[in-house]
Structure 1
């Protein structure tokens, strides 16, 4: 039996934990804390990861298996694997040019990359480097005119999927960011400057690619805004709840697949179905918004196995996935597709331009091995291998 890796990646970093350790050495502490931090005591941040450990799979060693195929159909497109790259704000601050590195890798490997409204590359540039495959996550603006203009830009680049973020009625209370001053927008104090100086590769790359900014939002900003004015702009532009009526208005405007990210309850699922959205991403914003809520995978288990929703809407997962084993567990309990944010940022932080491809291949290799172990050839057969759930 061959031990040859089907999806080659850097052998020095075979796990997310390895990537994280390396990235922590190369990213300034204030930026790494922004990437890693959760809200309040970070209980839900830990819960997101730990609850996966309570999902058990059963192997079938004597069962004959066909050729393994990880491809997954979603909204009329076939992706090479059942996972994509989550939207992450301020990506270019955590690692210079991170959005372009990841979008290129995603396009090459035929998986979705989601650009955040508050990331550091524009809609148009991401569409170009991803060969038109990138999705977009909308922070709903307070002004309808701005919403409409962004949607028109997405139509112009033929964005395949629009994701609307619904779980940020207010920015989470994140103690790490308060201490570092890395709020929205970031403030560079003396400690942050010293931390940046201790990471020379990050500093050189930042000089090469320029100070990161909210590239998608530039057309709507006055020129020459200082940090205080930028903060006021962000508060004016994105403060407020996303309501049933606002999503319904977007449904009327957007002709393609529409996904809501941040859904965690039956009540919101019922509203999503009524509006006619095509999918939801079950998520608690990476443990960054409400410390007293349940883990993302716990919410998924409840919603994905409710007969009222099954087969009527795509139910996807974001939060806490750290290996191909976790991907397998997610599918076993009902996920149609999965997204990961922090692992990919660890990847670019650790390996720079090679980090996107490395992390994609690493997860593919993990998942392939699990499929061999439990003797299945298709992703949708993982439910047959669910042993028990003890959450």
Structure 2
């Protein structure tokens, strides 16, 4: 198991990554919206969930594997989609997709990440999922879906919680609002992180690789911002999801569901799963934490019977993974922890972070006398 003992926790990886990533890029990764209250709730609300050990109970071999949409994964977690991954650490999408494929956990590529559908399909051996930012034009939507069919993408995730871009103060002050811009300050920050700079020169200035076929050549920064706003501004409605359901015959997941009303619509449309999420606290500061939304939705047994309910947001340890399963999550995704991993350890960061979570979850299952992940609800205090 590839695991660096100098970094046994996500906190250790975060501290190291912060020293190696320029401030403007780290702020993009780390920040939430407005006063960042929801960002804090996502992590802190896990602390109110307590697990119950059974020390005198017999227990056999521990099996962390989980079956999801017809495929067996080695552990009950995957890597969340994150935009502009290559800005935060050069070549991050490929590092993470390759590590996830090797370890048999899912990696989700974002529409606005810095590697293309085709490249990630190749390095992940066809195992990577894809998260769709719904375009305003159906022509563009249909072309992206066809590209996904061509590479036999196993799962399509449609993002629903970005009707407008969140007001993120850190990005505005760092010059990474739309349109993004470089300033003397950001250039100086980059110079203070030589490894990041060398790797950026090696792999090239990051861009929206999946979207390149739809962009005019030679766009300046202002025109790029206009393209993004023109292409992706707008609500994802029931009718838009129905249209995708008619086209996409594989597993279809909605990411960003947080209420009973939207869950009812998801059931009516006939999607295969939802990822309960608040976009990492980056969209609505007055929203509840993802884990609290999950607890409310999984309290209704019929939702769990008809839909695969997963979680994204706030998980920072194997203990948090156990807590999520104890309150009803079938599977979990983490974004920032894996970016801390590649920021701290580069090419080794993806595998290290996967193994970190596996080791922590394995120890927790030993402590609670649990053999399989679906036994966690029996250990809820």
The normalised TM-score by structure 1 is: 0.97
**Residue 273 (structure 1) aligns with:** 267
1:186 deviation in Å?
2.1
**Residue 278 (structure 2) aligns with:** 284
Partners of 2:363 and 2:232 in 1: CA distance: 43
CA RMSD of aligned residues (A): 0.6
Structure 1 residues 230-269: Cα deviation after superposition (integer angstroms, max 9, x where no partner): 1111111001000000000000000100000000000000
Structure 1 residues 286-328: Cα deviation after superposition (integer angstroms, max 9, x where no partner): 0000000100000000101212312110000000000000000
Out of 144, 149, 156, the residue aligned to residue 150 of structure 1 is 144
Q: Number of residues paired by the alignment? A: 381
Partners of 2:178 and 2:348 in 1: CA distance: 29
The answer to whether residue 120 in structure 2 is matched with residue 98 in structure 1 is no
3-state DSSP of counterpart to 1:212: coil
Partners of 1:312 and 1:247 in 2: CA distance: 18
Q: Structure 1: state its 5+ residue gaps.
A: 1-6
Structure 1 residues 119-162: Cα deviation after superposition (integer angstroms, max 9, x where no partner): 00000000000011100000000000000000000000000000
Partners of 2:363 and 2:155 in 1: CA distance: 30
Q: Structure 2: state its 5+ residue gaps.
A: none
1:185 deviation in Å?
4.0
Partners of 2:355 and 2:45 in 1: CA distance: 25
Structure 1 residues 207-236: Cα deviation after superposition (integer angstroms, max 9, x where no partner): 000000000000000111111111111111
**Residue 255 (structure 1) aligns with:** 249
Out of 317, 322, 341, the residue aligned to residue 316 of structure 2 is 322
Query: 1:179-218 to 2 correspondence within 5 Å?
Result: 179-218=173-212
3-state DSSP of counterpart to 2:306: coil
The answer to whether residue 42 in structure 2 is matched with residue 42 in structure 1 is no
CA contact (8 A) 2:325 2:376 kept: yes
Out of 127, 134, 138, the residue aligned to residue 128 of structure 2 is 134
Q: Which 10-residue stretch deviates more, 36-45 or 181-190? A: 181-190
CA contact (8 A) 2:53 2:368 kept: yes
Partners of 1:291 and 1:308 in 2: CA distance: 29
The answer to whether residue 374 in structure 2 is matched with residue 376 in structure 1 is no
Partners of 2:215 and 2:178 in 1: CA distance: 15
Partners of 2:51 and 2:210 in 1: CA distance: 43
Partners of 1:363 and 1:129 in 2: CA distance: 22
1:71 deviation in Å?
0.5
**Residue 101 (structure 2) aligns with:** 107
